[in-house]
C-alpha cells in the first residue's frame, strides 16, 4: 500500500481526498496522507504543489516526487531537494487545450479591441473602432513544448502567422520554429504579439526585461502564462505606461498571490489573472499520477520524469 505525502498550497482535506478518490480509480491501494502529518514519515512518494521543501527533504523513505502541475520549478527551487531524487511532472492534453483557450481569448481581445468597446459602452458610444488586419499580425510563442505547441497550432488555425521558439529545434507543420539567442531577438523585434510559455530555469529567469521589451514593436501585446520570475515586472510596467507595450495580460507573478501593493494592479493596460490559465484537473490527471506512483514504487522511471540538469 504506497503511502503518498500530499501538499498543495491550496491545500485542504477536501482537495486531498478528491485526489485520493480519483487516483484510487486507477490504483486502489494508494493512500494519501498530509505532508505535514506524522504519517508522512512512511511516504515513499510526495505529490506536491508549492510545498515546504525542508519538510520534503527530511522524509527519509521517499523514492520520488510528483508535481501537481506541468511546471516543476516549485520543487527544484533553491536546490533543496537532492538532485538524485526523481521528479515527475504532469503532461495533460486537457491542460494544454485549456491554456490554448485562455491564450486565444487574450489574443482575440487584443486583435478585436474588446476593452476599447467596453470603454465605449460605459459612455454609450456606438462606433466602430479601427480593426487590425489579422493576416499581418505575427505571433511569437516562447516555449513550444507540451503546451506551447498546442497553442501554436490553434492560433495558426485562426489565420495568424505563428512563430515558435524553443531550446532544441522543432518541426511543427505551419509553424516557423526557431532556436537560439539571435532568433529570440529577431522574434522580439518582428512580432506583434508575444506569448511566454517557458518553464522557469536559470536561462529563462528575467528573460523579459527592459532590453527585451524595448526592442519589441511599438504597440505590441505581451502575454505571460509561463512563470512570474521570467518577467521584470517594473520594466513591464514602465513599457506599458509609455504605451510601447499597448497591452499585457498576466497569469503568473514573481510573488503569488500578487501582493495588494503591487503596481501591476494599477496599470490600466495590464490585465491580471490569478494563475488560472491552465489549472490541473484531478479528473484528467489522476491516471498518469497513478501510473507514476506504480512506476516509482517498482523502481522504474515514470513517463515525464524531468531531466534535472535541464531544470524542466
Q: Which helix (H) or strand (E) segment is 87 a member of?
A: strand 87-88
Instruction: Tell the smallest beta-carbon distance from residue 38 to ligand GLV (Å).
Output: 29
Task: Report the distance separating Cα 188 and Cα 182, nearest Å.
Answer: 10
**156 interacts with ligand NAP by CB under 6 A:** no
Q: How far is CA 274 from CA 271, 280, 306, in A?
A: 10, 14, 26
Specify the residue, 90 or 216, whose C-beta has the smaller distance to ligand GLV.
90
Q: Are residues 129 and 143 in contact, defined by beta-carbon separation less than 8 angstroms?
A: no
- CA 280 to chain centroid, in Å, comes to 11
- Residue 305 as a binder of ligand NAP (CB under 6 A): the answer is no
Strands 176-179 and 193-196, sheet pairing: unpaired
Residue 231 within binding range of ligand NAP, rule CB under 6 A = no
Does 146 bind ligand NAP (CB under 6 A)? Our answer is yes
Stretch 54-73: interaction string toward ligand NAP, x if CB under 6 A? ---------------xxx--
Quick one: 149 or 220, whose CB is closer to ligand GLV?
149
Residue 228 sits in the site that holds ligand NAP (CB under 6 A): no
Cα→Cα distances 170→71, 99, 176, 274, Å? 20, 20, 9, 31
- Rule CB under 6 A: say whether 100 interacts with ligand NAP: no
Beta bridge partners of residue 245, listed in sequence order: 220
- Does 167 contact ligand NAP by CB under 6 A? yes
Return the residues of window 5-64 that contact ligand NAP according to CB under 6 A: none
Q: Which does 288 bind (CB under 5 to 8 A by kind): ligand GLV, ligand NAP, none?
A: none
Cβ neighbourhood burial of 67 (10 Å; 0-12, 13-18, 19+): buried
Closer by beta carbon to ligand NAP, 123 or else 168: 168
H or E stretch covering 142: strand 138-142
**Partners of 140 in beta bridges:** 163, 194
Q: Which does residue 302 bind out of ligand NAP, ligand GLV, none, counting CB within 5 to 8 angstroms by kind?
A: none
- Would you say 203 or 283 has its CB closer to ligand NAP? 203
CA-based end-to-end distance of the chain: 30
CA–CA–CA angle 112, 118, 123 (5° rounding): 130
**Residue among 20, 154, 229, 251 that touches ligand NAP (CB under 6 A):** 251
Interface positions with ligand GLV (CB under 6 A)? 69-71, 280
Q: Is 285 in the site for ligand NAP (CB under 6 A)?
A: no
Residues in the site for ligand NAP, rule: CB under 6 A? 69-71, 91, 95, 99, 143-148, 165-168, 197-201, 203-204, 225-227, 251-252, 275, 277-278, 312
Amino acid at each position: 500500500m504506497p503511502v503518498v505525502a500530499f501538499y498543495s498550497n491550496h491545500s485542504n482535506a477536501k482537495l486531498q481526498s478528491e485526489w485520493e478518490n480519483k487516483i484510487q480509480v486507477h490504483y486502489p491501494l494508494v493512500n494519501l496522507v498530509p505532508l505535514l502529518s506524522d504519517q508522512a514519515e512512511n511516504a515513499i512518494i510526495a505529490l506536491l504543489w508549492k510545498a515546504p521543501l525542508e519538510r520534503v527533504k527530511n522524509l527519509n523513505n521517499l523514492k520520488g516526487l510528483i508535481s501537481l502541475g506541468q511546471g516543476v520549478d516549485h520543487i527544484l527551487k533553491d536546490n533543496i531537494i537532492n538532485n538524485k531524487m526523481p521528479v515527475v511532472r504532469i503532461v495533460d492534453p486537457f491542460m494544454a487545450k485549456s491554456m490554448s483557450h485562455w491564450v486565444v481569448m487574450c489574443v482575440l481581445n487584443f486583435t478585436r479591441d474588446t476593452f476599447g468597446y467596453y470603454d465605449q459602452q460605459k459612455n454609450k458610444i456606438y462606433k466602430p473602432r479601427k480593426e487590425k488586419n489579422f493576416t499581418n499580425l505575427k505571433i511569437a510563442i516562447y516555449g513550444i513544448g507540451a503546451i506551447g505547441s498546442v497553442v501554436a497550432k490553434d492560433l495558426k488555425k485562426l489565420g495568424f502567422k505563428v512563430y515558435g521558439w524553443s531550446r532544441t529545434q522543432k518541426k511543427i507543420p505551419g509553424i516557423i520554429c526557431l532556436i537560439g539567442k539571435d532568433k529570440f531577438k529577431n522574434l522580439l523585434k518582428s512580432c506583434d504579439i508575444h506569448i511566454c510559455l517557458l518553464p522557469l530555469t536559470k536561462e529563462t529567469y528575467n528573460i523579459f526585461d527592459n532590453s527585451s521589451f524595448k526592442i519589441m514593436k511599438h504597440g505590441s501585446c505581451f502575454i505571460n502564462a509561463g512563470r512570474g520570475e521570467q518577467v521584470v515586472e517594473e520594466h513591464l510596467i514602465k513599457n506599458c505606461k509609455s504605451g510601447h507595450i499597448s497591452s499585457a495580460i498576466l497569469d503568473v507573478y514573481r510573488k503569488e498571490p500578487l501582493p495588494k501593493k503591487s503596481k501591476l494592479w494599477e496599470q490600466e493596460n495590464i490585465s491580471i489573472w490569478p494563475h488560472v490559465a491552465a489549472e490541473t484537473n484531478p479528473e484528467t490527471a489522476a491516471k498518469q499520477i497513478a501510473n507514476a506512483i506504480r512506476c516509482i514504487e517498482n523502481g522504474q522511471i515514470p513517463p515525464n520524469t524531468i531531466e534535472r540538469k535541464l531544470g524542466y
